[in-house]
Chains A and B, each alone.
Chain A
Amino acid sequence: MDYKRLTLFAGHYGSGKTNIALNYARWLRRQNLPVTIADLDIVNPYFRTKDSEAALAAEGIRLIVSEFANSNVDLPAMPKEAYELVSDPTVYGVLDIGGDDRGALALGRYVPAIKEEGSYEMLFVVNRSRPLTRTVADTLEVMGEIEEACNLPFTAIVNNTNLGLQTTASDVLSSLEYAQELSQKTGLPIKMTCAAGWLWEELTGKVPDLFPLSIQKLYYMIDSEVNSWQN
């Protein structure tokens, strides 16, 4: 799979951007690249990149996150270090953008520099099992709103159709047609289809460009049924 210096994950909120960004940063790091992940989410109060802070540090991945994340400060603040990602061409940056057009608005200030350098991928993360991106028509509406808000067109699609910890292989397989249709309508390639680790074996060979995900640990304290599967 190809990669660029900057990889941006945007999409409908709740589509899985944060988790994919974390996994993608790890994937880049495994290729011995200097990787920095930036949490530019100004929308979500809980379940953020910061929950994986220690794990990222252990793997040598730098995390840029608002000092107010996971605190009681209810401010849609951007981390002040985020500009380093666009100004320092020696690092590989993964940018986790907030959900919907409101979340993507915050990206706008970095867009001129990102476009000027030209080495980036702007990825649209989509989960067909989310209520407001169930149909291709609804999804196109969300895509358009995000592109308009941040002034950066998408370059590819990431199919992340899932039902959380209850996802089965058939959930992923039955989303392929939808993703294809979205690809045809937008003219954008499908960069990858994501699937949690427990589906990896079942889906190998059946899904092109399969990208295995591990899930942020926080969810495991809620459901004992899945405690047996931990990466």
Chain B
Amino acid sequence: MQEKTLMKGNEAIAEAAILAGCRHYFGYPITPQTEVAAYMAKKMPKIGGTFLQAESEIAAINMVYGVASTGKLAMTSSSSPGIALKAEGISYLAGADLPALIVNVQRGGPGLGGIQPSQSDYFLATRGPGHGDFHVLVLAPASVQEMADLTGKAFELAMKYRMPAMLLADGTMGQMMEPVVLPEPKEPAAQSPAWAAVGTECKRFHNVVNSLYLDPLTLEHTNFERFERYAAVERDETMWEEFLMEDAEICVVSCGITARVSRNAIVEARKRGIKVGMIRPITLWPFPKKPLQAAAEKVKSFLCVELNMGQMKEDVELAIRCKKPVDLCCRVGGMIPSPDEVLAKIIKANEQGG
């Protein structure tokens, strides 16, 4: 096992991306994710990689498109307002079936909002950030270790299913420091994938990377084919963690920093004899519908703990077909609920029953 390193979440993303074999980073500074770019700026030149501070977020995502077209691992990172700017480019990546990693270390909004942590880009990430019918893989880390692990996982899944992946962290995850065991280094792939636009050497028909289809029927078929892939992702790649769910009567649903706070509240509630557990979605798309449906058969109610006005709550209600009541505990604008605030909501849910 490798030695533990004390890292900021943002540094862990950058180092894990390099260890996953990524040698192309394009970004533009914005709080609270700037350390990703700063780390890449320091390290990429030393290992023969490319760090490029683009003239804008839009330029950066289109540079990612360019490198991704050649079948190489490429990434960009930003925070909420910057991700909104990248939306067009993400749609083009999806339309061209290109793998790429987009890191979003969320801050409060809407608009310019603020620099303190948030989870208010849940809709933006899970509904396909851009125009057209598409999804991106969405992974939500809840520790600095997961910032590293899920960065590698995001690249792996993006490449496997030829689709963009978004690491959806909140500002706290980006800024907090925890010990990390870094993954084993992987060298960049020596061979390009069969679809990559890297030159034919007159040995094959040329590959085209494009999202424009002149024939409507062909465009319809590409959409159908893409959604067949999405079905496979939903079937095989959904990730979640269950905590004290065996006998739970209340099910907390939370991801990222609020899952960490909720865990404290749950431990405290258990000391008071309240049967409460948690389902923590790790992939937000695909959303862990199955464990929530199973929980809906057993628990009296659900409690979503989020740094937004209840965006994930809608997915929980949808997943369980509104079978049980779903309450919300939320803070926004850069505020984080304390364990006591979550505990109060758990106690209330317990008193109300189903």
Interface of B is mostly: mixed
Which stretch, B1-9, B206-214, B310-318, touches the partner chain A?
B1-9
Partner of B15 from A70, A131, A164, A227 at Cβ < 8 Å: A131
Do A45 and B32 have beta carbons less than 8 Å apart? yes
List the count of A-B residue pairs having beta carbons below 8 Å apart.
76
State whether the Cβ of B325 lies closer than 8 Å to any Cβ in chain A.
Answer: no
Q: Which residues from chain B contact A134 at a C-beta distance below 8 Å?
A: 5
Q: A14-B177, A74-B115 are in contact. Are A131 and B334 (CB under 8 A)?
A: no
Q: Which residues from chain B contact A223 at a C-beta distance below 8 Å?
A: 260, 264
State whether the Cβ of B90 lies closer than 8 Å to any Cβ in chain A.
Answer: no
How close is A55's CB to chain B, nearest CB, in angstroms? 17
Do B31 and A45 have beta carbons less than 8 Å apart? yes
How close is B124's CB to chain A, nearest CB, in angstroms? 20
CB within 8 Å of A: which B70-123 residues: 108, 113-117
Do B261 and A164 have beta carbons less than 8 Å apart? no
Do A46 and B171 have beta carbons less than 8 Å apart? yes
Closest to B174 in A: A46
Q: A72-B113, A127-B6, A129-B6 are in contact. Are A47 and B42 (CB under 8 A)?
A: no
State whether the Cβ of A7 lies closer than 8 Å to any Cβ in chain B.
Answer: no
Q: A45-B115, A46-B172, A74-B115 are in contact. Are A222 and B32 (CB under 8 A)?
A: no
CA separation between A163 and B5, bound complex, in Å?
A: 7
Q: Which residues from chain A contact B8 at a C-beta distance below 8 Å?
A: 14
CB within 8 Å of B: which A108-161 residues: 127, 129-132, 134
How close is A144's CB to chain B, nearest CB, in angstroms? 15
CB within 8 Å of B: which A12-53 residues: 14, 44-47
How many chain B residues sit at the interface, stated as a range, is: 20 to 34
State whether the Cβ of A162 lies closer than 8 Å to any Cβ in chain B.
Answer: yes
State whether the Cβ of B338 lies closer than 8 Å to any Cβ in chain A.
Answer: yes
Partner of A131 from B11, B115, B263 at Cβ < 8 Å: B11
How close is A218's CB to chain B, nearest CB, in angstroms? 9
How close is B45's CB to chain A, nearest CB, in angstroms? 14
State whether the Cβ of A224 lies closer than 8 Å to any Cβ in chain B.
Answer: yes
Do A164 and B179 have beta carbons less than 8 Å apart? yes
Q: Which residues from chain A contact B257 at a C-beta distance below 8 Å?
A: 222
State whether the Cβ of B239 lies closer than 8 Å to any Cβ in chain A.
Answer: no
CB within 8 Å of A: which B144-195 residues: 171-172, 175-179
Do B177 and A164 have beta carbons less than 8 Å apart? yes
Partner of A129 from B4, B42, B171, B260 at Cβ < 8 Å: B4
Do A163 and B172 have beta carbons less than 8 Å apart? no
Q: Which residues from chain B contact A127 at a C-beta distance below 8 Å?
A: 6
How close is A169's CB to chain B, nearest CB, in angstroms? 15
CA separation between A23 and B197, bound complex, in Å?
A: 57
Q: Which residues from chain B contact A57 at a C-beta distance below 8 Å?
A: none
Q: Mark B241-283, 1 if CB is under 8 A from A, else 0.
A: 0000000000000000100110110011000000000000000
Do B175 and A47 have beta carbons less than 8 Å apart? yes
Do A47 and B176 have beta carbons less than 8 Å apart? yes
How close is B98's CB to chain A, nearest CB, in angstroms? 30
> Which of B5, B6, B267: most chain A CB closer than 10 A?
B6
State whether the Cβ of B66 lies closer than 8 Å to any Cβ in chain A.
Answer: no
Can you sample 7 A-B contacts with CB below 8 Å? A72-B115, A72-B116, A129-B179, A131-B7, A166-B4, A222-B257, A227-B264
Please list the residues of chain A having a beta carbon within 8 angstroms of any beta carbon in chain B: 14, 44-47, 70-72, 74, 127, 129-132, 134, 162-166, 219, 221-224, 227
| Closest 7 pairs between A and B when the two form their complex, measured CB to CB | A72-B114, A163-B179, A224-B264, A46-B175, A129-B6, A224-B267, A222-B260
